[in-house]
Amino acid sequence: GNSVTQMEGPVTLSEEAFLTINCTYTATGYPSLFWYVQYPGEGLQLLLKATKADDKGSNKGFEATYRKETTSFHLEKGSVQVSDSAVYFCALSEGNTPLVFGKGTRLSVIA
């Protein structure tokens, strides 16, 4: 079955540091890939997505590129802010099937 593996947290960075959160996937078909963010005490928000190989999703300074050859969708941001502190989930789906989530990575950014 489909699955998502993402790097374990927590990740603690200083403000303006570079962020990478690794995500790899296993899928039987051609999935769409997503990053969701969950701020403290809130629900999930879609951060970015990519629907086919070599697509780059981007939003709020975050970006991730769909790499079919390495089955990866790593999340990056060049300069994190304290307000980026949250839990980040990598996920995949095929068509309108339910999302399959990774375990989540907690990011803490300190001033």
Partner 1 sequence: SAVISQKPSRDICQRGTSLTIQCQVDSQVTMMFWYRQQPGQSLTLIATANQGSEATYESGFVIDKFPISRPNLTFSTLTVSNMSPEDSSIYLCSAYSGTPYEQYFGPGTRLTVT
Quote the least distance from Cβ 98 to partner 1, whole Å. Answer: 5
Q: In terms of Cα–Cα distance, which of 65, 71, 70, 69 is closest to 50?
A: 65
Torsion of CA 22, 25, 31, 36, to 10 degrees: -40
For partner 1, which is the closer residue by CB, 18 or 52?
Answer: 52
Quote the least distance from Cβ 78 to partner 1, whole Å. Answer: 26
Vertex 81, ends 22 and 48: CA angle to 5°?
45
Q: Which residues bind partner 1 (CB under 8 A)?
A: 32, 34, 36, 42-46, 49, 51, 89, 93, 96, 98-99, 101-104
Quote the least distance from Cβ 104 to partner 1, whole Å. Answer: 5
